[in-house]
Structure 1
Amino acid sequence: MSPQPQPQPQPQPDTTTKDSSSKKGAKPQKPHAMSARLQRFTQFAKQLLKSLNPEPLTGGLEISEAALRYAIIKDRKLVTKTVQLAPGVIQNGQIQDKQRFVTALTQLRTHIGEPKLAIYVIALLPPDAVYTQTFSIPNLDEARLHEAAGLNMQMLSPIDPESAYMSWERLGLSESGENQVDFLGAASSKDVVRVYLESLREAGFSVIAAEFPALSASRLITRLSESTSPSYFVIQLTGDGLLLMILRSNRLYFTRFVSFKELGVGEKGQVDAKAFNDLIVRECHQVLNFHSSRWGHALNDVVVVTEQLNERIGEIIRTTFSLPVRDIRIQEFPNLSVLWWPALGAALRGLTPRSRDESLSLTPGTVQAGYWQDRFLIFLALWRKILIFSFAFILIIFIGVDVFLRVTERRIDAASFNIPSSELVDVTALQDEARVFNALVTKASFAYDAIPNWSPFFDRLLQIAGSAISFDRLTVSPQGVQIAARTLSQVSAIAFKNTLEKEPNFSNVVLPLANINVNTDNSVQFEITFDITSLQFQ
């Protein structure tokens, strides 16, 4: 479904609005400098969250008509697994026999291992199932830029927008110098993609993103090859056909796929030489003309990537177009077959954190949304295991403590039965003495509590007497209180009597006149009696 080179319509949205932050005189605010301690804490928190919810490894899975190829990079080592597909399972980019396709995926999953865990992949849809196109739009603000990109894709796609998954990624500023941005867009039928996604899910694969082989192969070439050319034409012979690509500034700007049917493959798998030569010339001529018309200059760097036909294709291009032809190698994996390049390119994308993955994806929703949903489910599953383990650990501790206490109790009971009889007699005597002693202590405590507290009474009596009254004798008996005292005058003695009568805890206060005697020094001696009604003085 890759298109022929064609002019690209560009809608002209309004570009008169300006960002208020570009006004003259506006001074950028310096970000608040984070303290070293806070930075260390933030780094520790990130590492803790990463350890509690590790990011799953993601591989690349290429789906072609001939085979399923899975590649993943673990600890800087490449791991590959493949399963051949029976003829007719996939034709023209669509699944014709879903049951046999799921069976092949299940077989591949068995080869990969980890049967209880989901296998995360960047899926490569067959090139026949994907329509691709590059386009340019004016450089707008981020929100309007993506809105304009979506409108362009709807105009360019031959598939009804309601029936297609569409996606695009930014390539960079256009070389036209007109302040435009180049985009690479892709579209695929929802009905076709859904069958692939459902089959992968049934076989235990979790699709992080879906793209096409040319995008993955270009990623591998630009990242891991030794090529330094700013622009080149790549011709790659894959397991299903011929893949043509134009790479500029390490980004894929054009791709076209030609199946083996168009290459003139016979019934026995043989290629008709004349038809093959004619097709190479025709396709290369179209691509070179497209490049000249688009960028205004000829393309002078041609790369041929095949297993066995490098020399033949190179000779056709050198003879027909008088262009230099070279091959290319992957530095880290020099012996890797070119048939694995698309799967390895997808595996490279799998190494990119999903939160920073901005490549296109022909799946429902964005890559970031699918990623966070998947991470949330992983996080729940992890903490479910942690909680189960914690509860099991606490239960084991409780059981262990209970067993220990029961054993200890039995040992104490057994030890008590083994005490000699003489020691038991001593223990019994000590227990009797302890009971007697405790009973005496209890009686003493009761007796102490029964003793009246006379301190408040004496304090109150001295307070009433003051400095005017001096006590010679004070007698307390069941019949009451009798006081013999002296003072300076009869008035003071009578005043003392009156004060005692006002005290609520005293009653029957009596001061007989016969008991008042005047001494030779004019001092007065007297005797007074009264009853105590309560010792609770305030």
Structure 2
Amino acid sequence: MNIDVRNLTQKLFLFLRVRSPIGALELADVALRFSYFDGKLWQLKSVRLPPGTIEGGKIKNRGQLLEALKTLRKQIPDPIPKRGRAGVILVASSLNLYSQVFSLPFIEGEGFDKAVELNMQMVSPIEVGRAYSGWQVVGEEDEGLRIQVLGAFVESAAIDEVNKALFEAGFLGIVAEPRALALARLLREAALGFDSKRPALLLHLDSSGLTFLIVRGGQLYFEYSNLWRDVADEKQQITFPVFEAAITRSLHQVTTFYSQHWQDQLEEIFLSANNLIPQITKIINENFPLKVKEIKLGSSQAITPEWFVAVGAGLRGLKPRWEDKEISLLGLSAEEEFQNEQLAHFLRFWRVAVPSVLALFLAVFFGADLVLTKAQEDLEAKLLLQKGGSEMEVIGAFETQAKEFNRSVALIRSAESSIKHKTPLLEVLTGLVAENGVLLRRISFDDINNQMVLLGVAGSEDNIKAFKKALETNAMFQGIDLPFTEIKKEGGGFSFSVSFGVTL
């Protein structure tokens, strides 16, 4: 019997509120699409956008977008809670996102991160102060002497506007990623017949146009798009000869780019297109020496190509946050908001669960004591009668047992009154974290010595100092120990460690 340990672990974490369920939300020109895997099937929900809501990569009618998001939020099924905000991996397909792969020599330590950041600034198509960017390592070359890095960029104002609308509608953006990254993940993790050891092309056709991807080692290396508005005639129509020419011309450009950059042979192309698979296959077979494969997912559930982006992003939502090292195009404030929302969700559950569980245990212990005491009384009474003891001896035995029973009840009530709930401590700590711009990574608590150790990250050293001062001025915390030598530069902020005593 095969047991899916990972699936069971995820269900346990969801039940205990250790991690919140995370779905995916694709923001396309014509529709919003939400996906979430419940352990058996993909839950897929969509809402069409009125024409003119999003045009040319910009939100034209914020009111219509917000109304559509609210409608979608009402459709989302359990276990994503109706209260609070639903965490999502955002794929802003309708916005202008840019990606590029560059190569760097291998450097140990922090020097590599600094070299990446410098190159990101050099290749960014958007002014650094107006952009959100992210990067991830996608491969190696020259036997590990050079590292290949994928960088992505988007205008910060555009993402902030979308993220604000999500928040108002009851969603919480956790990360934002390019559509191409979601499609490459779908191909790598869910497509039948795909071998990550061989390079491949992916052609995705949707309402916006044609998108070509180069995938090597299962990772995205290059993206090229040809939009319908650039192909259509003055009447916004596309004839089949024009369609055929667009595919042929675009695919020729992509294959030429590949041959100029890599040596290994390109042999296959995967297609994602609803009703045009036969026509596109015929065009490619007549013009290119590539084996054409339609993308089919290894699932009993029928999922059509318009859902491939949302499902590809949904696969990312299944990973624990601490394992996710892929690109994110949201600012630090969005990450902090998600961590605070997750902590609040955890506390809401356990504030009710802890007293309830303790009360249940006390009831069980009390009931067991009653049953065992009654059984003991019956046995001892029978023994006394069998030995010919007098009626007074039996009564005396019952009186002694009654005193022991009353003493047990008193002990149980004393134990119940001595329980100390730690919820107020967590609520105070959560408030201090939120007020001082600190993001919690790990908390450990020593019940015996009432000592707590906290690992966190903040946007600046001033935030860390303000957090330490807040701890020192609160009567619940003593002996604050925050070595400034432990404050380290990390990405866009500073990590630190602090320990202190707690008064419960």
Shift of 1:126: 1.8
Shift of 1:368: 6.8
Structure 1 residue identity aligned to 2:230: E
Structure 1 residue identity aligned to 2:181: L
Which residue, out of 229, 236, 242, partners 2:204? 236
The normalised TM-score by structure 2 is 0.64
Whether the aligned pair in 2 keeps the contact of 1:61 and 1:343 (CA below 8 Å) is yes
Cα distance in 2, alignment partners of residues 104 and 72 from structure 1: 18
Shift of 1:265: 7.0
Whether the aligned pair in 2 keeps the contact of 1:239 and 1:339 (CA below 8 Å) is no
Alignment of 1:304 onto 2:280: no
Alignment of 1:340 onto 2:340: no
> 2:249 corresponds to which residue?
282
Shift of 1:328: 2.5
Which residue, out of 173, 181, 198, partners 1:207? 173
Cα distance in 2, alignment partners of residues 69 and 265 from structure 1: 29
Residues 68 and 318 of structure 1: CA distance in aligned 2, closer, same or farther (over 3 Å): same
Report SS of the residue matched to 1:258. strand
> 2:220 corresponds to which residue?
252
Alignment of 1:83 onto 2:47: yes
Cα deviations by residue, 1:48-70 (Å, 9 ceiling, x for unpaired)? 98764331111111110010010
Whether the aligned pair in 2 keeps the contact of 1:217 and 1:345 (CA below 8 Å) is yes
Matches within 5 A, 1:104-503: 104-113=68-77, 114-126=81-93, 128-174=95-141, 176-177=142-143, 179-229=145-195, 230-264=198-232, 267=235, 270-333=237-300, 335-365=302-332, 371-386=338-353
Shift of 1:127: 5.4
Cα distance in 1, alignment partners of residues 214 and 103 from structure 2: 16
Residues 387 and 64 of structure 1: CA distance in aligned 2, closer, same or farther (over 3 Å): same
Shift of 1:261: 1.0
Percent identity of equivalent pairs: 29
Residues 67 and 183 of structure 1: CA distance in aligned 2, closer, same or farther (over 3 Å): same
Segment of structure 1 superposing worse, 279-288 or 354-363: 279-288
Cα distance in 1, alignment partners of residues 95 and 85 from structure 2: 28
Cα deviations by residue, 1:471-501 (Å, 9 ceiling, x for unpaired)? xxxxxxxxxxxxxxxxxxxxxxxxxxxxxxx
> 1:94 corresponds to which residue?
58
Cα distance in 1, alignment partners of residues 325 and 287 from structure 2: 40
Shift of 1:390: 9.4
Cα distance in 2, alignment partners of residues 111 and 363 from structure 1: 25
Cα distance in 2, alignment partners of residues 358 and 109 from structure 1: 28
Whether the aligned pair in 2 keeps the contact of 1:169 and 1:184 (CA below 8 Å) is yes
Report SS of the residue matched to 2:296. coil
> 1:68 corresponds to which residue?
32
Residues 110 and 141 of structure 1: CA distance in aligned 2, closer, same or farther (over 3 Å): same
Whether the aligned pair in 2 keeps the contact of 1:188 and 1:362 (CA below 8 Å) is yes
Whether the aligned pair in 2 keeps the contact of 1:59 and 1:122 (CA below 8 Å) is yes
Q: Which runs of 5+ in 2 are unaligned?
A: 1-9, 364-504
Cα distance in 2, alignment partners of residues 102 and 157 from structure 1: 30
The normalised TM-score by structure 1 is 0.60
Report SS of the residue matched to 1:56. coil
Whether the aligned pair in 1 keeps the contact of 2:267 and 2:289 (CA below 8 Å) is no
Question: How many matched pairs?
Answer: 347
Structure 1 residue identity aligned to 2:225: F
Which residue, out of 67, 70, 78, partners 1:103? 67
Residues 107 and 50 of structure 1: CA distance in aligned 2, closer, same or farther (over 3 Å): closer
Residues 50 and 321 of structure 1: CA distance in aligned 2, closer, same or farther (over 3 Å): closer
Q: How big is the alpha-carbon RMSD for the aligned residues of Structure 1 and Structure 2?
A: 2.8
Cα distance in 1, alignment partners of residues 13 and 245 from structure 2: 58
Structure 2 residue identity aligned to 1:247: V
Structure 2 residue identity aligned to 1:225: A
Residues 75 and 49 of structure 1: CA distance in aligned 2, closer, same or farther (over 3 Å): closer
Q: Which runs of 5+ in 1 are unaligned?
A: 1-45, 398-538
Matches within 5 A, 1:32-47: none
Cα deviations by residue, 1:112-133 (Å, 9 ceiling, x for unpaired)? 1553232111010125420111
Whether the aligned pair in 2 keeps the contact of 1:241 and 1:258 (CA below 8 Å) is yes
Structure 2 residue identity aligned to 1:210: A
Whether the aligned pair in 1 keeps the contact of 2:101 and 2:151 (CA below 8 Å) is yes
Report SS of the residue matched to 1:219. helix
Cα distance in 1, alignment partners of residues 207 and 35 from structure 2: 16
Residues 150 and 278 of structure 1: CA distance in aligned 2, closer, same or farther (over 3 Å): same
